[in-house]
Structure 1
């Protein structure tokens, strides 16, 4: 009996040490990545919002900036986000897993690092990093921070997919959607417009769909990479707008792939915290 207890205690201690090591290794890797992203930040040429720069934009885009920004709003240079939600790991299953995440964003140049923990059965956690920095996209997932189950990086497809995510999520840092920040707007109709952003060798386009009050209801891509070889239409719905640091931003998002078999939602989340950094005047 004593030997069995000692053996069990040894196995438990080894498992605890392995879990702690996996979490430590993941945190260390993400901290190095984040430092690289922050070191790339550059000063902004335009530091405050002037409504004059929106006068030539399509009517729904003008209404949007009128609704979310106030004259003299400082340009967002960085954001720290925290998030809770749920994630559907397999589109063939109706099972959703709880998720918690933090995210760091820079706007000049565009960059972000999303650091998530997805809880599976029996308390097993998957560590996930979705990122775009210095023109390179990446997606990595590790079970317990130890066993890599996904590692996509350094391809034009993943860079395009991640820059699309950055552009869609710019509704959380709306000064990044202004023409002075590099976004080109084209008219589609009275309730939607196309936004184009170029960063280095990567150019992406998204369709922004607006509500009657001027706020963004959804962002749509005709084709967003799902993997190194697959792409599909992609839709992000937005809701629960509130004022934060003078800007009106959505706190809820739901994301889905639009597949031939029908819509395939895979993420639903709510911001639980948002802290802005502004370029010095």
Structure 2
């Protein structure tokens, strides 16, 4: 592992002897599907694995919380879908290399919420960049995914970017520039965890946000079972 990655893990308070196998967290915020779409409030629960690229994010949104959004990467397989009342599929993406790449990139981008994974996930490859940033890469089969982190004055992750994250559009998944930002770092036990974040896209030269969220709770889970 690159020294800069070890130093980042140390600044975030990651434990070299972590007792957990994943983190669990809850979020609230607003989301939308595109620049012209209306914002909708959401609440979500998520777990992120520490030893392998895996996560599951389940959000409730829409009128009376009737819509459930699922996004995940479990046992090497991606999933993404929209469901009515949590069970009736309204839109479901089929597994593909593009979807795998997108979900793997999400796992990498959200490492600030799972800092112990920087030390414990041996599938991550780190590279120091000339501007002081870090590139982290992982692969599943023939699919490679990378994101780039920049750091704030405290040495915490401030932004995450990628030039080629697959985005769902009318014609299918298309690679687009993607960006995110983390802020409001707070101490949770021995770790520094960002409590605010946003993400967005760039389409035809226009940048726009599609997700603003706040962390409501965060903890290390001792169970090693990886399931939805």
TM-score normalized with structure 2 length: 0.87
Shift in Å, 1:70: 6.0
Name the structure 1 match of 2:18. 74
Name the structure 2 match of 1:223. 164
Asked if 1 retains the 8 angstrom alpha-carbon contact of 2:124 and 2:136, the reply is yes
Matched, 1:243 2:184: no
Asked if 2 retains the 8 angstrom alpha-carbon contact of 1:207 and 1:219, the reply is yes
What 5-or-longer segments of structure 1 have no aligned partner? 1-53
Q: Distance in 1 between matches of 2:211 and 2:13?
A: 28
What 5-or-longer segments of structure 2 have no aligned partner? none
Shift in Å, 1:98: 0.6
Mapping 1:40-79, distance limit 5 Å:
56-58=2-4, 61-69=5-13, 72-74=16-18, 76-79=20-23
Aligned length: 221
Deviations 1:168-199 (A, max 9, x none): 11111112123763321112224312111223
- Matched residue SS, 2:21: strand
Q: Which moved more, 1:208-217 or 1:136-145?
A: 136-145
TM-score normalized with structure 1 length: 0.71
- Matched residue SS, 1:181: coil
Q: Distance in 2 between matches of 1:72 and 1:155?
A: 34
Cα RMSD over matched residues?
2.3
**Per residue, is there more strand in 1 or in 2?**
2
Name which of 148, 153, 163 aligns with 1:207.
148
**Per residue, is there more helix in 1 or in 2?**
1
Q: Measured at CA, do residues 124 and 90 of structure 1 come closer, stay the same or move farther in structure 2, by a change above 3 Å?
A: farther
CA radius of gyration, larger in: 1
Name the structure 2 match of 1:114. 57
Deviations 1:118-140 (A, max 9, x none): 124xx362111001011111111
Asked if 2 retains the 8 angstrom alpha-carbon contact of 1:136 and 1:153, the reply is no
Q: Measured at CA, do residues 183 and 72 of structure 1 come closer, stay the same or move farther in structure 2, by a change above 3 Å?
A: closer
Mapping 1:83-232, distance limit 5 Å:
83-93=27-37, 95-120=38-63, 123=64, 125-145=66-86, 147-178=88-119, 181-227=122-168, 228-232=172-176
Shift in Å, 1:79: 1.5
Q: Measured at CA, do residues 72 and 192 of structure 1 come closer, stay the same or move farther in structure 2, by a change above 3 Å?
A: closer
